[in-house]
Amino acid sequence: MSSAAIYGLSGLELTADEKAFIRDANPWGFILFARNVDRPRQVSKLCVALRDAVGRDAPIFIDQEGGRVQRLKPPTWRAAPPADVFGKLYRRDEAAALEAVRLNHRLLADELTAVGVDADCAPCIDLQIEGADAIIGDRSYSTDAGIVAALGRAAMEGLLAGGVAPVIKHIPGHGRADADSHLALPRVDTVRDTLEATDFAPFRDLADAPMAMTAHIVYSDIDSDDPATHSEAMIGDVIRGFIGFDGLLMSDDLSMQALSGTLAQRGERALSAGCDLVLHCNGEMKEMIAIAHAMPDLTGKPRARADAAAACRKPADAFDAEAGLKRLDDLLDGEGAA
């Protein structure tokens, strides 16, 4: 039985220590970053090694949004556009934008599954908010919640059609953050009624997503002390309640500076607040060991959610990638990206 965790790793191939750790910790899944990526053959071998280490078809995640956030990079891989490009197109031609974002994510799915990756930490359905920290920025489709939801839905459809399980993020909304949660704890003082009509709205519209990643943000009108990842009120009342999300809920990276306490305490608090499992990304062995000692096995409702999310990784629909890319280029002609 797997543990309630997803871990990163240190380099381009598994070390002996990592193999031993993975065998003992038995995480539910893994996540890759740029430090784990060189060439397609190398990534494929790494994915095989990770699954061999746990003896099962574990999900392997990556952040492949496009724009500033993509771990499979040019020139070896395609330069996918940032979300903002599709939002701008939507304001001019809704049908073209929906087709374009669906095609883009269908192409992303092909690129990921070709190397063994079958879960994408995308789409980012946070809003663009004027005056907020730039960490989201053009990673968001729009300032308009309806546009974000519509394009987020199309992105999910494209990934799922290609056999890749999507993760909506950062629930219940990171766009209004006044700081980068990698570096500090953001605080949002906007009243709940406004948040429900804006930041929370795309997540409510996509509440049937198989997976979601939390925001390490304090929403003071709901819980003035704890970030959503550690807040029973935010997870129970907002994420599971108002938003209605009943899929697999994972924390954002436990090593980010927005969280306080030891790594074990951060993991324990996330699960206690209502996360199904935790995410740890930096590949630091001492940190992973500390977290692993505190992580229970996936059982009960969290396991059922994990099983349902894993089952989304179905065989891909038939798709002509060359024709799809040409059509995407045509749709985006004049939007400043291809």
Does the annotation mark 105 as catalytic? Answer: no
- Of 182, 208, 307, 330, catalytic: 182
CA 257 to CA 251: how far, in whole Å? 14
* β-bridge mates for residue 277, sequence order: 250
Q: Which of 272, 322, 324 is nearest to 294 (CA)?
A: 272
Q: What angle do CA 33, 37, 38 make, to 5 degrees?
A: 160
Q: 182: how many CB neighbours lie within 10 A of its CB? A: 13
> Using H for helix, E for strand and C for coil, what is the string for 261-282?
CCHHHHHHHHHHHCCCEEEECC
Q: HSE on the CB side for 20, CA within 13 Å?
A: 5
Q: Is 137 exposed, middle or buried (0-12, 13-18, 19+ CB in 10 A)?
A: middle
Instruction: Find the catalytic residue in 199, 223, 226, 252.
Output: 252
Q: Is-catalytic flag, 182?
A: yes
The sign one gets for the Cα dihedral 303, 6, 238, 163 is: negative
Active site residues: 182, 252
